Amino acid sequence: MVRVANCAGWLWDRFSGLRDALAGPVDVVTGDYLAEPTLRQLALDKQRDPELGYAQSFLAQFTDAVDLLVERGARLVVDAGGLNPAGLAARCRRVIAEAGHDLVVAHVEGDDVLGRLGEFGPLEHLDDGRPLADWGHQPGTANAYLGGWGITAALAAGAHVVVTGRVTDASLTTGVAAWWHGWSVEDTSQEAWDRLAGAVAAAHVIECGPQATGGNFSGFTTVPRVDDLGYPIAEIAADGTAVITKHETAGGMVTTDTVTAQLLYEIQGPTYLNPDVTVDLSAVTVTHEAPDRVSLTGVRGSPPSPTTKLAITAPGGFESSLSFYATGLDLEAKVDLLRTHVERITGALDLSLLRVDRIGAPVEDPPDQWAAAQQILVTAQARDRAQVGAERFIAPLTGLFLPGYPGLYVNPLRVANPVVEYWPTLLPTDALAHEVVLADGARLPVKDTPVRAEFRGQPPSVPAPGVDASGDTTRAPLGFVAHARCGDKGGNSNVGFWPIGASDEAWAWLRAAVSVEWVAEVYPGVAVERHEFPGLRAVHLVIHGILGKGASSNGRPDIAGKAVAEFLRARHVDVPTTLLAEVSQEGSHG
């Protein structure tokens, strides 16, 4: 097996991540720094300084932990190169030399196609089918999602540190597994697809760091040392099966629940697409092997699609927001008055978006001032910075102290921050110039899989079975008997639910309770897809369009829909009384 640790799940993951991942024996450390809007942030850095464009946070981690990396004898693979993998590779070499070490650094190129967009046809939006020409924004970055074979080639060429630009999150680990086990890109047997798919599943579990050890977990109240979570490790065998674990010294836990949560995160159904393999998760199974050791089996693979995802970003204007508070009595009248003032002040402005969102509600007979308050978030976007700037937007709204409702106070949160517009589309994989660049400048073209197959879409949505009306029920929050995890993909939110406890009764009830109709009660008029994962005993939903244009530009208080699952867990449903008694000792709902 190869023992792969993760040290980062996004651009600003904790500084000690690389050192923490090296706290015990590992063969390779991976780090994922590139969320969907991140490349636009790196583009702004590169505009200010052409030598930047990479994750400076990683360089700080690397400088701190390079001695430990050498001591462990581990290799390192990160996508922190962003828009300038060559520049980051050069900086890593400088850090290595200054520390007195002799490590080989290589980088992977081919994802950046900004200068070639005219070659690829209409580049239709993945969700609504519009051609890129109708977008109305000037692309500033355009990066295709590369597979893992470039990483495999770099490691095979002797690299100790591999820096990439935009690869899929899973590619960081699949490239490592293929190198370690000697898998061949030209092997098109069923066994080859299955083992590569298994590595993708393991990679998906560890790619977001502590989310696999108890972070962002609906059962967080049961997690030991929840304030000091460790990073996960995937032990990937030659056949692609894996065990998810962590260092013994690290906080948190690895259980079937924490692994299930991450498997259900940011997927669009049982079929998980990757440039190197199409992954079938419908029969995936997680099994408790020992404390903090969970095996991952049942993943199947097939040839990948001839296309890969292309993420295009553009400057989208500017955004400002203010947080007003209304306290105590006459709450509806206070909010109505605030809306009147907002409409008057913004009526003459040229805005592309204006939102007024009410967050929370005062409690009855409040014990203190803060329990009596409701937040009202006012958010505006405009192409012209001045339209949402301090003079024309912020100052008039903060000036409502005197003519506003009683008890009004306000805090500006963002003033003319840049907005990132996001356009997801597809392009042919064979159009990419996927290459490894070695330290001496030599370039190694990366071989592509010789077999690809058209993707025919996710399996049909599965309706919920009928509810068994017999037996006593109690009205209670769904979260008393079910865990959940959600994730974002563009404007869509996915949510997976699975029962607390492993009884047949709990699974049978959950299948019936989590229906498309139940979701439509709070998200009317949106398309919802529903699938089941019997091996995980999970119901999975994709709720289309509730995140607007995506996390980088929708203006929602919860821009990435991180709380969608917890909102749905808080909704009351009729739960069998016997089921509530069965899980009452879990303590997972706080």
Segment (H or E) for 178: helix 171-181
Of 160, 250, 171, give the one whose Cα is nearest residue 204.
171
CB 352, CB 382: distance < 8 Å: yes
What is the reported pLDDT for 51? 95
Give the span between the Cα atoms of 58 and 17, in whole angstroms.
9
Residue 315, beta-bridge partner list: 420
| Listed range (45-54, 80-89, 262-271, 464-473) with the worst mean pLDDT | 464-473
The model's confidence at residue 554, banded by pLDDT at 50, 70 and 90, is confident
**Amino acid letter for position 72:** R
Residues 6+ apart with CB under 8 A from 442: none
Note the pLDDT of residue 586: 52
Residue 462 burial by Cβ neighbours in a 10 Å radius (0-12, 13-18, 19+): middle
Name the token pair of 287.
């099994």
For residue 135, the 8-state DSSP code is S
Q: What is the pLDDT of residues 148-161, one digit of tens each?
A: 999 999 999 999 99
pLDDT at 33: 96
Q: Where in the chain is the domain with CATH 3.30.70.560?
A: 316-421
The predicted model gives 360-375 an average pLDDT of 95
- 468 pLDDT higher than 80: no
And the tokens for 264? 């259900």
Q: Out of 3.30.70.560, 1.10.287.3510, 3.40.50.1000, 3.10.129.10, which CATH number does the structure's domain 316-421 have? A: 3.30.70.560
Q: How far apart are CA 286 and CA 264, in angstroms?
A: 12
Lowest mean pLDDT among 382-391, 477-486, 545-554: 545-554
pLDDT confidence tier of residue 41, bands split at 50, 70 and 90: confident
pLDDT at position 588 is 47
Instruction: Give the pLDDT of residue 582.
Output: 85
Q: Residues of the chain with pLDDT > 90: what percent?
A: 91
pLDDT (tens digit, 9 = 90+) per residue, 475-495? 999 999 999 999 998 899 999
Under the banding of pLDDT at 50, 70 and 90, the label for residue 26 is very high
pLDDT at 590: 38
Q: What is the Cα–Cα distance from 240 to 193, expressed in whole angstroms?
A: 9
6 pLDDT higher than 70? yes
Task: Give the residue-averaged pLDDT of 505-509.
Answer: 93
Give the residue among 245, 241, 191 at the shortest CA–CA distance from 213. 245
Residue 399's SS3 state is helix
Q: Where does residue 233 rank: exposed (0-12), middle (13-18), buried (19+ CB within 10 A)? A: buried
Residue 467 CB partners (closer than 8 Å, separation 6+): 512, 513
Record the pTM: 0.95
Angle between helices 149-156 and 171-181 (to 10 degrees): 50
The most distant pair of C-alpha atoms in the chain lies apart, rounded to whole Å, by 74
CA atoms within 13 A on the CB side of 402: 2
Mean pLDDT lowest among 173-177, 234-238, 558-562: 558-562
What gap in Å lies between CA 247 and CA 228, rounded to an integer? 13
What's the mean pLDDT in 178-188?
A: 97
Enter the tokens of residue 407.
Answer: 């008890």
Torsion from C-alpha of 421, 427, 430, 431, nearest 10 degrees: -60
Q: Are strands 353-359 and 161-163 parallel, antiparallel or unpaired?
A: unpaired
> Across the beta sheet with 492-499, what order do the strands follow?
482-489, 492-499, 538-543, 528-533
**∠ CA 93-436-452, rounded to 5°:** 150
- Indicate if the alpha-carbon torsion angle 434, 438, 444, 448 is positive or negative: negative
Q: State how far the Cα of 386 lies from the Cα of 380, in Å rounded to an integer.
A: 12
Cα separation, 342 vs 400, in Å, equals 10
